[in-house]
Each structure stands twice: as structure tokens, then as C-alpha cells.
Amino acid sequence: MPEGQYTTNLLRAGLSTRHVPAPCVLVIFGATGDLTHRKLVPALYNLAHEGQLPPSFAIVGFARRPKTNEEFRAELEQGVQEFSRFSPINPAVWKAMAQGIYYHRSEFTDDNGYDSLGKLLEKIDRTHGTAGNRLFYLAAAPTEFTHIIQKLGAHKLVHRGRNQQVSQRIVVEKPFGGSLDTARELNHVLAGVFDEHQIFRIDHYLGKETVQNIMAMRFANEIFEPLWNQKYIDHVQITVAESIGVETRGGYYDGSGALRDMVQNHLMQLLSLVAMEPPASLEAEDIRDEKVKVLRSISPIAPAQVREFTVRGQYARGSIAGKPVVSYREEPKVAPDSRTETFVALKLFLDNWRWAGVPFYLRHGKRLPKQVAEIAIQFKALPAVLFAADQAAPVQPNVLVLRIQPDEGIAIRMNAKVPGNTLTIQPVKMDFRYGGSFGAQSPDAYERLLHDVIVGDATLFTRRDEVECSWSIMDAILEGWSLDGGAPPVAYESGTWGPAEADEFIEKDGRQWRRP
Amino acid sequence: MPDTRQLETFAAGVETAVDVAGIERQLHELWQLAAESEKDPSRRQITRASLFNLVAFCETDSGRDHATETISALTSRHPCRAIVLMAEPNELRTELSASISAHCHLAGGGRKQVCCEQISIHASGKSTNQVGSAVLPLLESDLPTILWWQGNFLESPELFGHLVTVADRVVFHTSQWHKPETHLAALHRVTVEQRRCVFTDLSWTRLGIWRKLTAECFDEPPARAELDQIRSVEIGCGHGPGGMMRATLYAAWLAAQLGWSPAVASSRIHLTPQKGGPDTLTMGIISVELKSPSATFLLRKSLGEWAASATVIMPQMCTLPRKQAFELNDDASLLSQVFDQPGRDPVYERALAMAAALTETEPDPTVSGY
């Protein structure tokens, strides 16, 4: 082998771990909030524990409250102890990580705060060798995003362009805007400071193992693809149910609602993954291209059509797991006459060759009987011959269920003959459970996503056009609701599967909601 | 036909003696009973799972007990049909007996238990010649078969010959052999002869953290440029057999990946057993120092901490050590890592070929530098 510079690291051959990223500093805006404490830093610790972080990795927490570096580190350590999947944590690993954690106190609008941040980052570059590589994480309230982004630009803390020696990125938590206009505005503000390849819009559902498995199931198996179209599929149901109420988020939620909070992002992502065409490659842009095509093919719901294609509800008093709970309007920081929806059911159609005529029923709500997320592909009914000829005992259509959480896995409902002298057919379930087959503890979604941001892999993040397409669909629905004769959301008892109107909504099509 | 009490005993992991010819029928009846129990919510709910066949070979009672304990720890994460085969060919008495049991674990979110079967077969005397025919019909179809051999299979060529024909993978642990470095050449020959099979040495699996830490030192382009300038490698290791073996494999890996010939590798790489307290007897690699004219790459096990660190010393590079925690290295953890990565490991195969060349007294002309 000739001597000279290696273009690839020969020692990495055969190692299953991913490339360790270049040294960098992660600046978290809103670092004293719940997200940092419960999710971000425990995920970073997990990555460090598995050797997935560079040695020179620093964290700067940017927030308003007064705190020293040591106090901040101690608080974060508590969060790691409680929320890391490695318990007990390894003192050596934490100590090495904590040495790179700093706290920077400032208001988000204070110019002096950004100047001093710049100086701190330069100091960290010198002591830690982070070489100007920066990740800016917007974990603050969405109302602060614009200030922060503009200040980063104004204080020259960001370098843009692909050919730079440094890599600098920004991570934006959901919600990404509250409408098409505000999403476009936020995109515009971002584009003023960052290039698109530097912008990572998080939807943490995409970091879930089972959501990633949707693509694996579809495109790593020969048997599904021939059936994955309108010739064989009757309809698709996507359900994301929560048993919790708004808890302490009433103030934010009352201005948002279920459609903005969950449907615009998580449910639309699930729909895109189920409905997309096979991508040209597993590169980020090829996958995102296919997802955008799905969103573009969704037949828009005109404002005048909202009653035909949507149902919205709001939870009333009831009980969850045997315990009484209050109604949405009685929750803290929720207006007593609030018209915010906590439940949405939608029927969408995709105007493309693969899915023409197949309804996609989406359902999400709070205070439903249990926490569950699943995608159910219901196949068409058999022709009324042979085993299905007996109309008194109809043969159940096949259903393929992708369980996102809990009890992650895949199930297929099929029909089998009941042992005995008669030809009786009964549905049976073929079940694959992640927990039963792969007992490994899956990494937390944020671990995967944070590592991807650090190495610059945008596959699991939403693109500008994806976000705006999704909002254009939601905007029409929101406009329709606001114009809809002043009708408030329909009340449903907490602990039930939503309002009766949601059942009628699907039953008028000759179908029924699944009971997950 | 078994009754519910037998089902409970089975699911609780207690071994029940069965006739070798009736193993499958007995298991089938037990699972049928389990399926019927599903209708009665007051009864234990169990379901069966299996992703592969695991044939665990041993020659002693303690080996059999160790296999059973290991399988019990493994099956929560890697459900399989486990066949524990204890063979005592030198016993005078000819015997072939079997028992069945299950390893059950609670699946998340409910009362249902996921269970894996264990079939234990004991062959002694001349009946050890029939082990192949006893094991073959018990292997589940459409699933890969892993043969885990406790001990040195090179010392039992006949028995090994019976069983390797049904295996897709053979797993062994050279660190537990007597003078393992003296067997490397023979081991390499067997892996070449049994080309259909994948061979996995748990000593190699244990090297994962050292390989990873080493590779990471060279991820950055300036450091990567030093790879072909490495002229000296000093490896400190424990002075027990496991230490030298793992150090030898590590050295061979490095040499093979860097394209060194055995002669070049021998001149550049030095292994130094560290004699110290009782700890150094069981330790593997303790330290590695790779040197080029302008850089030093240091890897060190942190004594007293369950971690290792890697430091790059060269101009313009960050000199902060990177630390990584060690995984557990008991057999269950190591086997789990192996099962997580099906398929051949060409990097190991090259390393083994180099290790064989480095330890043979006469150089093997089939092994050359790239």
C-alpha cells in the first residue's frame, strides 16, 4: 500500500459505531427549562457514555436566571442521574463532560449578553479546541426565537456557506410557527442568518426507533410494497392518543390547540412516512423530497369543507384510570370559555397514483383512555366468495398495525380456520414486538437526533418546504373552523375515545375507528 | 399430556427430564397448554419467542451451569431456542438423556411473559458420536444456528466436526484457553477450511472499546495523516493468558489494517505484560502508545474507574482525553454484542490471519502485507 495521506480512516472498518463528530460547542438558549434538564443533557450524557461525543465538546447554557457554572453543572448532574438510561451514571464520564459545561446569564434581547457570549465561545475554542464549530439550540419559548436568531446574526456569531472551515448549525424546537404566515416568517428570519443546510427543525417523533422502522419495514421487505396502494388498501388510520391533559401547559396550549400542537407536525410526519414513494437513496435530501411530495399531493380541505372532513372536540370532566379529572376549561391558565380544541379527527386524501381514493383518517386527542400511537393499514374486504360467501359471519379484512408506542411493534391480523369439523374462520394476530424480540433498550429519540445534528445529518429533521406545506393544509382547516358559524369544539367525556361526532364521522363512510 | 402444574414448572425454569426422541412433542404440548391458558386471565400468560438457535457446548457440570445462567441472562434481549449440550466422551458409561425448561421474562406493559426454551442434552461415552443426530432435528427451521463452544474446540476435532456442520456461526473465547497464542495458526486454518461458517472470538469482541478509541484518534484529518507514519506501538497488558491474547489480537488488527507485513509488524509492535497485583493477571489491554515522528496517541485503562481514555498529542490538536465507559465483559454481555451484529467480520478474519502469522515460528507464505 503506497504511503501517503489516507482519505478514509482504515481503523474504522468493521466498527458499528458512527463517526465521532468534530469538536463543537452547543449553546442552549433556555437552558434552565425542562427540556434541557429532562431530555437534552441526559441524551448528551448517554452519547458521551457510549463514546459518541468528541472529547472537546462543550455546552453553554444561555438563560436569564442567575447561576454559577458549578450550580448549573450540579443541576444538570441531577437530571442525568434521574433521566439517563445508564443508571448509575459513570462518574468518570460525567466528570469529563461536566468540565466542558458553562453557564451564561443574559436576557435574550440583551446585546451585551451576545457580545459576552462571543467572547466566551472564543475562550472555549482556545481551551477546548472547538475550532469555531457551534450548535445553537432554541429551547426557549417560541416567542423568543426571532430575537435570538437576529441577535446571533447581528453579533456575527454565525458563519454561513458550505465551504467554511467551521460548521455552525441551529436547532429549532417545535412548534415551528403557529400558522403558514408565522412559519414563513420564522423561515425568513432564519434564512437571514443561516443557510438551509444549517437549519435543523426538530420533530422528536422522527427520532423514535419505531418511526424509523416504518421505512425499514416498507423498503427492507419485498412482501409489502406490491400491496401498498389503492388497489389493496381500504383506508389508513393514524391515532396518537394521550391520556394526560394539558397539565401545566394551559397557557401555551390555549393559544395553540391540538391541530397546531400535534397534528401539524407529528401526525403529518407519520402520514408522510407511510405514504411516501421509495427514495432514490437514504440520503437526507432524497428522503425529504419524497415526504414533501406526499404533502403536496394532499387534497386541500377548503374552509367550507371542514365539517365534512374534520371533527374537533374539547375534553369535559370524566375519569382516567379510575381517577376523576377536570374539564379542559377548568385547567390552570385556560380561559373558562376557551374554544381551543383538545381533540381532532381529520379525513385526508392523497391525489396521486398510489393512493387515489384511499382515505387517511387522522385522530389525536388529550384525555383519551390511554397513551398510544399507532398506524393501522386496513386492507380491502375480500370478494364475497369462498370463505367470505357467508354474509352472516363476515370475514374480517386484514389489518397491518405499526405500533409506535407503547409496546412497540408490528402486528398483522389475518384469518385462520378454527380447528374442528366445521369451516369456521376467525381472525388471528401475528405479532412482532420490539420488546420481546429486541430486548435492547432503544436510545432515547433525542440521543439520535442530537447526534445527527452534531454530525450534520438532516434526514430526521424537517425541511423548510415540508413545514410550509404542512402549515398550508392546517391553515385552511383553522380558517374553516374560525368561520364555521361560531361552532365551538364538541365536548367529550375524559376517558372516552372522543366525541360521538368523531364516530359518526367515520361511520358515515362505512368504517369504524379502531380501538387501539 | 402435560398439566398446568408442569407448565408452571417449565415456565419457572425448572428442568424436566424427557425422552430424547420426545422432546419436540413434549414442547409442543406445553405450548399448546400455554395457548389455552391465555383464555383464563387468572393463569400465567406466557408466549414463546425465538430469533435463532443457540447450541451451547460444554464438557463439565460447571460448564453446563454457566451456560444455563448465561442463557437466562441473554434471552431477555435475545430470545432463542437454546440447546445446552454437555458431552463427556471419555466417560465409560454410554448415556444420552435430555431435559427441558424455559427462561421467561416479563414483557413490558403487562402480565405476559416472553419465554425461550432450553433443551439440555447430556451425552457420555460412545453416545457422544450421536450428538449431531440428537441436535439436528431440534434446530428450528428458517433461523440461524449459533454454536457457542466453551473451551478449546481444536482439542475436540471429532465432536466439533459433528456440530460445526449445523452451525452458521461458532463463538468461542480464546482468552479462556490454555496458552491461546500457540493455537492461533491452527485456529486460522480451521476458519479457512470451514468457510461457510462465521467464527467469532469473544477475545476479539472484548477489544471493541480499544479499537473504537484507537480509530477515533485518527478521525480528524491532521491525525489521519499520521496513520501511515506510525513507527512504534507499545502495548501494555495483563500478564495472564487473556491479556497476552487480546494484546496479540489488537496488534494483529492494527498491523492488518495498516497494511504491514508480519515482519514489519514484529519490528514495530511490542507487547509488555505488566506484572503487578492480582488485578493485572486478569486484565487485558492496559495501555497503548502509538508513535509517529510528530505525534503520540495514548490510550489507557483508568485503573479504579470502569473507563478508558484516549489522548492525542500533536500540535494544533485538542489534547483533552476522551473517556469511554467499559461495557460489562461477562459472557452474557459479550454474546449479546455478538448477536447484535450478524454477518461475517472480515476485519477479524484479517486480524486472525495476521495474528497467526505473527505467532507462527515459520512465516505463513499465504499472509502478506497489502
- What is the pLDDT averaged over residues A442-447? 80
In which band, very low, low, confident or very high, does the pLDDT at A6 lie, cut at 50, 70 and 90?
very low
- What is the pLDDT averaged over residues B156-172? 90
Closest CB to A10 among B258, B306, B321: B258
For residue B23, the distance in angstroms to the closest alpha carbon of chain A comes to: 24
- Structure confidence at residue A346 (pLDDT): 97
List the beta bridge partners of residue B57.
Answer: B85, B149
Using CA atoms, how far apart are residues A373 and A266, in angstroms rounded to an integer? 10
According to DSSP H, which parts of A36-179 are helical? 41-49, 69-83, 91-98, 111-128, 145-154
* pTM beyond 0.80: no
**Exposed, middle or buried: residue A305 (CB in 10 Å: 0-12, 13-18, 19+)?**
middle
For residue A390, which amino acid is it?
D
**Chain B residues with CB inside 8 Å of A129's CB?**
317-320
Query: Are the CB atoms for A372 and A347 separated by under 8 Å?
Result: no
Which residue among the candidates A37, A104, A204, A266 is catalytic per the annotation? A266
Q: Which of B49, B43, B45, B32 is closest to B109 using CA atoms?
A: B45
- For residue A441, pLDDT beyond 70: no
**Enclosing H/E stretch for A171:** strand A168-172
Q: Is the complex ipTM more than 0.90?
A: no
- Structure confidence at residue B109 (pLDDT): 54
Contact B108 A435 (CB under 8 A): yes
Which DSSP category does B114 fall into? E
Phi, psi of A290 (to 5 degrees): -70, -35
**Chain A residues with CB inside 8 Å of B308's CB?**
none
Using CA atoms, how far apart are residues B195 and A307, in angstroms rounded to an integer? 66
Using CA atoms, how far apart are residues A295 and A468, in angstroms rounded to an integer? 10
- Whether A266 sits among the annotated catalytic residues: the reply is yes
CB atoms within 10 A of CB A337: 7
Closest CB to B114 among A12, A90, A436: A436
Closest CB to A92 among B211, B302, B370: B302
* Torsional sign, CA A82, A85, A86, A87: positive
Using CA atoms, how far apart are residues B1 and B30, in angstroms rounded to an integer? 8
Q: What percent of chain A has pLDDT over 90?
A: 64
Contact A437 B79 (CB under 8 A): yes
Using CA atoms, how far apart are residues B23 and A73, in angstroms rounded to an integer? 59
In which band, very low, low, confident or very high, does the pLDDT at B280 lie, cut at 50, 70 and 90?
low
Closest CB to A12 among B107, B215, B321: B215
- For residue B362, pLDDT beyond 60: no
- Structure confidence at residue A483 (pLDDT): 87
| Mean of per-residue pLDDT scores for chain B | 85
Contact A129 B318 (CB under 8 A): yes
- What is the pLDDT averaged over residues B74-102? 88
In which band, very low, low, confident or very high, does the pLDDT at B44 lie, cut at 50, 70 and 90?
low
Contact B318 A13 (CB under 8 A): no
In which band, very low, low, confident or very high, does the pLDDT at B186 lie, cut at 50, 70 and 90?
very high
- What is the pLDDT averaged over residues A136-160? 93
Task: Return the half-sphere exposure (C-beta side, CA atoms, 13 A cut-off) of residue A288.
Answer: 19
For residue B34, the distance in angstroms to the closest alpha carbon of chain A comes to: 16
The C-alpha cell that represents B149 in the structure block: 463452544
Q: Which of B54, B106, B46 is closest to B80 using CA atoms?
A: B54
Query: Are the CB atoms for A187 and A167 separated by under 8 Å?
Result: no
* Torsional sign, CA B17, B19, B20, B26: negative
| Lateral strand order in the sheet of A24-29 | A101-105, A57-63, A24-29, A134-138, A168-172, A199-201
- Structure confidence at residue A7 (pLDDT): 54
Contact A10 B227 (CB under 8 A): yes
